[in-house]
Structure 1
Amino acid sequence: MSTGTDPLAPLAQLPGVPDAVAEVRKAVDRLYGHRVMRRRAAEVTSEAALRGARASAALAGADWPLEEVRRRSDFSADEESRTVGAALRIAAEAGQLLSVWRHSPLQVLARLHLLAVGDADPAAGRPRRAGEGVEDLFPLELKPVESVEVEAAPAGPAVEPPPAPGAEEVAARLDQLSRLLIARAEGQGVGTPALVVASVVHGELLALRPFGSYNGVIARAAQRIVLIAEGLDPKSICPAEVGFAELGTDTYRRALAGYLAGTPDGLAAWIGHCGRALRLGVRESTAVCEAMQRGMV
């Protein structure tokens, strides 16, 4: 099947998206070419997973310092602790689920939710049912880091996402998303850039909020898996979650509103936001590599 049949292909041609794709590719390639990656790639991967998990938990309402996350071993004491623990467990296993993702993305999403909530939760690993509630995506407001440029972010006031779709719509759209990803794994539509595919998966999961809890953490982990599966970040060393946290939740909300609107400008802004976050993740891991090279890690 030709790449022209890929429903995501038109998104790659939206204004600004080709530049975002090229900038991300250049940044990622530069990181993979760092001399530290030749000797200590596994350590960089582990550190990226830790930093990504910390940032994803912060976006979900548990903004802990990195060293606190590194030091702690008990993540069951309270809601913030459980959120950090959920993000860490998901980050630790996400990269191991690639083979399952290629033929059953929904099974992987179920596994990620089970990792987050634990098997004692009766709702673990299944999409929410009619009448069941769903947690807020952004329970904590994070301000942009001062050193991060956000002038290219979507303008306008921060907005809350609309109510989550009903269970029937969620099931239908998850099935559609799964079919698209499986088709890509089978070689259909492979011309669409990884950044575009990962952005759509991330945005769609935030839009659907398929589970009763931890949807943001799961959506960000799914983006990470797509970037691995699509070959852009095969060693999972580019923690985009760090970038989303550094850009702040207001910017995240505005960008997501663009995705939800479904307009060309809105979709382009969302993909651009995901690209900026990924480049900031590259910057984070580059700093880790530099510290390793100087013998500081």
Structure 2
Amino acid sequence: MSEPLAWLVSLEGVASAFAGARDGIDVMLRDRGLRRTAPDITGESLLRGAHASAVLEGSGSTLAEVRESGGDAIARDAVRLSTELLALVPVLRRTPLQAFARLHAVAAAGTLPEHELGRPRGPQEVERLRGLADLLAADSATPALVLAAIVHADLATVAPFASHNGIVARAAERLVLVARGVDPTSLVVPEAGHLALRDAYESNLRGYASGQRSGLHSWLLYAAEAFTAGAEASPLRRDAT
């Protein structure tokens, strides 16, 4: 069976970078997670991720403010999405297009008219979402971290919805990690990894959007680093804040 992303994985340094990131995640989850998978730890990871994603989207709320009162409107949208995220794991596995629509409908609820919730902006965006959904639905041997990084970048740069595209993209990335078995209890905080590397995150998304081979290559190398930073930000780590 043809692997449409095989050429990306074969780019210089990509396979080794992602193998290293996956090893770091596996070690963290094995050493710290097997005996500590209580729902409150998953909830803390999701909350930290929602806060980081909201800041990347323009929120000015601190984590403490989000924890205490929900924060500003952007933060509340991100938190609302985080509370429903794991329920979408089976949806992503069965019908990825429906999962993308639901991610947006939850994030943008109360912000957009109801008829725009979960609906792509136009025919071009519909086709891009279908292509991404087909990629996820395929029986692919592509490493899950690579797939998550591509889903994230595609959603963020295509911006298929009328609002909240960054929040949706980062939530979809986390969802792929759970659905593909990298992080079944969602203890890694990839959003915090992106926030910690914000300048590189934003510049590499611009490179990805160019469609150039060099931009795609750079995004993947960056994403491996961000996943490692996301593991470091897990609430399983005693020194993570």
Does the aligned pair in 2 maintain the 1:14–1:264 contact within 8 Å? no
User: How much does 1:268 deviate?
Assistant: 1.7
In the other structure, the counterpart of 2:214 is: 265
* Change over 3 Å in CA distance of 1:208–1:291 after alignment to 2: closer
Note the alpha carbon deviations across 1:191-243, whole angstroms, 9 max, x for none.
Answer: 21111111111111112111111000000000111111111111111111001
In the other structure, the counterpart of 1:72 is: 69
- Give identity over the alignment, percent: 40
TM-score (norm 2): 0.92
Note the alpha carbon deviations across 1:223-279, whole angstroms, 9 max, x for none.
Answer: 11111111111111111100111111x322210122123333221211122221111
In 1, Cα distance between the equivalents of 2:163 and 2:215? 26
In the other structure, the counterpart of 1:227 is: 177
Q: After TM superposition, which residue ranges in structure 1, 4 or more long, deviate above 3 angstroms?
A: none
In 2, Cα distance between the equivalents of 1:34 and 1:42? 18
Q: Which amino acid aligns with 2:119?
A: R
Unaligned runs of 5+ in 1: 76-80, 129-166
How many residues are treated as equivalent by the alignment? 239
User: How much does 1:291 deviate?
Assistant: 6.0
Q: Is residue 289 from structure 1 mapped to residue 227 from structure 2 by the alignment?
A: no
Does the aligned pair in 1 maintain the 2:178–2:184 contact within 8 Å? yes
Higher helix share: 2
Does the aligned pair in 2 maintain the 1:44–1:237 contact within 8 Å? yes
1:47-196 matched pairs, under 5 angstroms? 47-73=44-70, 81-118=72-109, 121-122=113-114, 123-128=116-121, 167-183=122-138, 188-189=139-140, 191-196=141-146
In the other structure, the counterpart of 1:78 is: none
User: How much does 1:72 deviate?
Assistant: 0.4
* Change over 3 Å in CA distance of 1:239–1:35 after alignment to 2: closer
Unaligned runs of 5+ in 2: none
In 2, Cα distance between the equivalents of 1:202 and 1:57? 15
Question: Which secondary structure state, in structure 2, belongs to the residue aligned with residue 34 of structure 1?
Answer: helix
* Change over 3 Å in CA distance of 1:121–1:272 after alignment to 2: same
Question: Which secondary structure state, in structure 2, belongs to the residue aligned with residue 213 of structure 1?
Answer: coil
Q: RMSD value over aligned CA atoms? A: 2.0
TM-score (norm 1): 0.75
Q: Which amino acid aligns with 1:118?
A: A
Structure ID, larger Rg = 1
Note the alpha carbon deviations across 1:107-159, whole angstroms, 9 max, x for none.
Answer: 1121111211226723222122xxxxxxxxxxxxxxxxxxxxxxxxxxxxxxx
In the other structure, the counterpart of 1:18 is: 15
1:236-255 matched pairs, under 5 angstroms? 236-248=186-198, 250-255=199-204
Does the aligned pair in 2 maintain the 1:37–1:44 contact within 8 Å? no
User: How much does 1:87 deviate?
Assistant: 0.5
User: How much does 1:41 deviate?
Assistant: 4.0
